[in-house]
Chain A
Amino acid sequence: MKKIIYSSAVMLCSLILFLSCGDRDSENKGALASSAAEKVYVAPGEYDEFYAFISGGFSGQLSVYGIPSGRLFKVIPVFSQDAEKAWGYNEETKPMLQTSHGFVPWDDSHHPDISQTNGELDGRYVFINGNNTPRIAKIDLSVFETTEIIEIPNCAGNHSSAFVTENTEYVVAGTRFSVPIPQADISIKDYKGNFKGSLSFISVDPEDGGMDLSFQILMPGFDYDLAHPGRGASHGWMFFSTYNSEEASTLLEVNASQNDKDFIAAVNWKKAEEYIKEGKFTTMPANYAHNVYDEHTHTATSTMKKEVRVLDGSLPGLVYLLPTPKSPHGCDVDPTGEYIVGNGKLSADLTVHSFKKMISAIENEQFDGEAYGIPILKFEEVLAGTVKQAGLGPLHTEFDGKGNGYTTFFISSEVVKWKVGSWEVLDRQPCYYSVGHLMIPGGNSRKPFGKYVVAMNKITKDRYLPTGPEVTQSAQLYDITGEKMELLLDFPTIGEPHYAAGIPAELITERSRKIFNLTENKHKYAATTDADVKVVRDGKEVHVYMTMIRSHFNPDNIEGIKVGDKVYFHVTNLEQDYDVPHGISMIGANTSELLIMPGQTETFVWEPKQVGVWPFYCTDFCSALHQEMQGYVRVSPETSNLELSWGLGD
């Protein structure tokens, strides 16, 4: 108890100290204020230098911003239904949200990571984790749409994800909650020794990007928090931070904060590949969804997979534990791959491990015991250095590629710049308020573009005009080209952003698609010309093969629909011009509108319950005759003998 009082007092004192530092800095800001405006100004019609993919947090989505302007371009629906884009509402994308628990319309998306080739950003895909119902999604950056989601079995709270290896060989997942593996009806009190963690390696096909759960490593029942890949010399390793090495199952805020050190787990995935080749895995029964959206059929399919290959974490040479003080949160690797930073979130210090020292400690068997058969390396033998008293509550570190690290401190609410190698603090700037993750474009790669830091804050308070009790989320942009960081801009974000990934715009814009080619449309119910238009009855099911082009639907008059029918509107946008989507919505339909891109086909279901003549219309202002883009469906009583008929312009 005394200890707690003492440390609280230290924290408070430091807080006051840092706050007063902040005040001094803001006084100096005046002279720079005008140039800050110029640095973030992107003139009308001009482009931003970088894309920033900022996680949507509890919105479950991924947002796309321009940097340095901080302008929002798009919210890409990933794990949550989005009525605006019919994501999870239309028949084509419903399978994307299927899981072993059935249809899950929401998740908590945390950590986007851009695909890499030779350790550098290649701009093909963004991967992002679903934290709650463990999943990994892949967003194809030629279309900025989610094209694949894979569920992770034997996992609960997929937090240490979705980070990619140097050549996107794998994207990883880890379990934040340890759980019985396989799941079992046992007492929560029996946690210790019975609950396990799992680290999953999902392979990514180098050609088509297809994901496959290659193998899982069974680990002790800790909480696996964050991860980052080795690169350069440490390529072939993945580093996961852990907390709750106490294996507590209740009141974790106290019970998981008792050990002075938890671990960073260093996983040799090349070794794991060898073990898999040698057949040293067990095949566990499992049940997990693999959902793939096909660009040509414009339709997703969901497949349930039934088994997974599992390696035991105690296999020799597979995993080593690096003791790391104070419940490390972020686990970050510098651009050279030599330094692994443990951000001990209950500490004022940063612990930096050396990959070279780690390898020599392994070779010399400098162990300090083991945990469930996994060797624990001696702390002193792997430690490269400590960034001392840098702030309070370090969470995450990124690198600028010029020999500097930038770490966020949640409690003291600041970004601190420090020198890699000498571990000295070079600069600190306040964040408003309580920063979580930060992002430098390419900051998790061999080649960072060290021009800006985006800090994503957990608390907003008074930074913007108030909007009632719930205020916007807030990010802040700093210029890091000088010796001192300079705050340039506040901008609001969606959800609660966790991690983000930034990339120079030119790595993406060249490949960005403008339309889908009608000639490549392989949708089962597509009507790619007006000759394909028809209405077909199959019992109570009616399929409408409809087209849309400026400024009409074909057909726009339909009769012969009856109460109790299930009417599928399969609507194809015949446009082949950039930025001419059309929408469609039907009065009383128990679903969202459709927003259909040129060349694409989408489907919504309407189950008419009332006799009458009911209109539908285009929801996206498409042309000068947009208001004329409408139609009617006549609904007759269930007993009616009226035959189906349809037409346009008679």
Chain B
Amino acid sequence: MDRSRIFMTLAALLPLLLFVFPLWTITLEAPQYPTPLGMNIYINDFADKNPHDIKNINLMNHYVGMKYIPEAIPEFKIFPVTIIITTVLGLLLAWKAGYKWFLYWGILMVLLSAAGIYDFYLWEHDYGHDLDPKAILKFTNPDGSAMGFQPPLFGSKDILNFKAHSYPHFGALSFGLGILLAFVAYAIGRNMQKNKIK
């Protein structure tokens, strides 16, 4: 088997690590929480970083009228199936298809992750802005509009007394590395093709 196919095989397998490691991680720091509150987002679950963190995030957030973090969302069903399909597809391509297909697979994965991030943003926006009108504490922006509490998509942000951090975890990194390897596999394949022609 040539090197480009080995790389493509690895590229197809790496996203499977999403079943082991979290996709994303959100951490909330505040003086009263010497051990910060945290939530790990898996492709099929919201999980506590430390025991009872999500319960305690919900307790905090109910003061400003935010909804409870749901036990399950439709994405928890869609994401795993998508990952399995794309992995199977990637393996088939690595086995049989021409190197150009590696590029197409990589582009497909980029599009899928863009869709996923956009979906995550929509959920976050709703979570941070769709507030209970009977909220205990109501904050407004300087312009008089209602203050939202959307956590950052990527990076760190001050939200009232909390500092919120939102960063990809090993799952997302493996996924990204998979995409990168697909492009590498394509490049190697193309070079080998060129050399053959020469």
Q: Which A residues lie at the B interface, using CB under 8 A?
A: 515, 549-550, 575-578, 624-625
Q: In residues 97-156 of chain B, which contact A (Cβ within 8 Å)?
A: 136-137
Q: 17 pairs across A/B with beta carbons < 8 Å?
A: A515-B52, A549-B59, A550-B59, A575-B59, A576-B51, A576-B52, A576-B55, A576-B56, A577-B52, A577-B55, A577-B56, A577-B59, A578-B35, A624-B63, A624-B137, A625-B63, A625-B136
Instruction: With both chains docked as a complex, state the minimum distance between the C-beta of A509 and any C-beta of chain B, in angstroms.
Output: 14
B59 contacts across to A, CB distance below 8 A: 549-550, 575, 577
Specify the main secondary structure of chain A where it touches its partner. Answer: loop
A550 contacts across to B, CB distance below 8 A: 59
A515 contacts across to B, CB distance below 8 A: 52
Bound: A576/B52 CA distance, A: 6
Shortest Cβ distance from A515 into B: residue? B52
Bound: A455/B4 CA distance, A: 77
B35 contacts across to A, CB distance below 8 A: 578
Instruction: With both chains docked as a complex, state the minimum distance between the C-beta of A630 and any C-beta of chain B, in angstroms.
Output: 15
Bound: A577/B63 CA distance, A: 16
Instruction: With both chains docked as a complex, state the minimum distance between the C-beta of B49 and any C-beta of chain A, in angstroms.
Output: 13
Per-residue CB contact flags for chain B residues 24-47 toward chain A (1 = under 8 Å, else 0) read 000000000001000000000000
A624 contacts across to B, CB distance below 8 A: 63, 137
Per-residue CB contact flags for chain B residues 50-87 toward chain A (1 = under 8 Å, else 0) read 01100110010001000000000000000000000000
Shortest Cβ distance from B51 into A: residue? A576
Bound: A49/B52 CA distance, A: 30
B51 contacts across to A, CB distance below 8 A: 576
Shortest Cβ distance from A579 into B: residue? B32
Bound: A625/B136 CA distance, A: 9
Bound: A550/B55 CA distance, A: 12
Shortest Cβ distance from B60 into A: residue? A550
Shortest Cβ distance from A549 into B: residue? B59
Interface size counted on chain B using CB atoms at 8 A: 9
B55 contacts across to A, CB distance below 8 A: 576-577
A625 contacts across to B, CB distance below 8 A: 63, 136
A578 contacts across to B, CB distance below 8 A: 35
Bound: A415/B56 CA distance, A: 52
Bound: A578/B35 CA distance, A: 10
Question: Which A-B residue pairs are the 8 nearest by beta carbons?
Answer: A576-B52, A577-B56, A550-B59, A576-B55, A625-B136, A577-B52, A624-B63, A576-B56
Instruction: With both chains docked as a complex, state the minimum distance between the C-beta of B64 and any C-beta of chain A, in angstroms.
Output: 11
Shortest Cβ distance from A574 into B: residue? B55
Shortest Cβ distance from A598 into B: residue? B52
B56 contacts across to A, CB distance below 8 A: 576-577
Instruction: With both chains docked as a complex, state the minimum distance between the C-beta of A386 and any C-beta of chain B, in angstroms.
Output: 54
Question: Can you name 14 extra interface pairs (CB under 8 A) apart from A549-B59, A578-B35, A625-B63?
Answer: A515-B52, A550-B59, A575-B59, A576-B51, A576-B52, A576-B55, A576-B56, A577-B52, A577-B55, A577-B56, A577-B59, A624-B63, A624-B137, A625-B136
Instruction: With both chains docked as a complex, state the minimum distance between the C-beta of B150 and any C-beta of chain A, in angstroms.
Output: 22
Instruction: With both chains docked as a complex, state the minimum distance between the C-beta of B95 and any C-beta of chain A, in angstroms.
Output: 48
Instruction: With both chains docked as a complex, state the minimum distance between the C-beta of B65 and any C-beta of chain A, in angstroms.
Output: 13
Instruction: With both chains docked as a complex, state the minimum distance between the C-beta of B186 and any C-beta of chain A, in angstroms.
Output: 50
Bound: A624/B63 CA distance, A: 9
Bound: A578/B34 CA distance, A: 10
Instruction: With both chains docked as a complex, state the minimum distance between the C-beta of A577 and any C-beta of chain B, in angstroms.
Output: 5
Bound: A645/B53 CA distance, A: 34
Bound: A629/B22 CA distance, A: 38
Q: Which of B51, B52, B55 has its CB near the most chain A CB atoms (within 10 A)?
A: B52
Bound: A549/B55 CA distance, A: 11
Q: Which of A549, A575, A578 has its CB near the most chain B CB atoms (within 10 A)?
A: A578
A549 contacts across to B, CB distance below 8 A: 59
Bound: A151/B4 CA distance, A: 79
B52 contacts across to A, CB distance below 8 A: 515, 576-577
Instruction: With both chains docked as a complex, state the minimum distance between the C-beta of A597 and any C-beta of chain B, in angstroms.
Output: 14
Instruction: With both chains docked as a complex, state the minimum distance between the C-beta of A3 and any C-beta of chain B, in angstroms.
Output: 65
A575 contacts across to B, CB distance below 8 A: 59
A577 contacts across to B, CB distance below 8 A: 52, 55-56, 59
Instruction: With both chains docked as a complex, state the minimum distance between the C-beta of B159 and any C-beta of chain A, in angstroms.
Output: 16
Bound: A577/B28 CA distance, A: 14
Shortest Cβ distance from B52 into A: residue? A576
Bound: A550/B57 CA distance, A: 12
Instruction: With both chains docked as a complex, state the minimum distance between the C-beta of B161 and any C-beta of chain A, in angstroms.
Output: 10
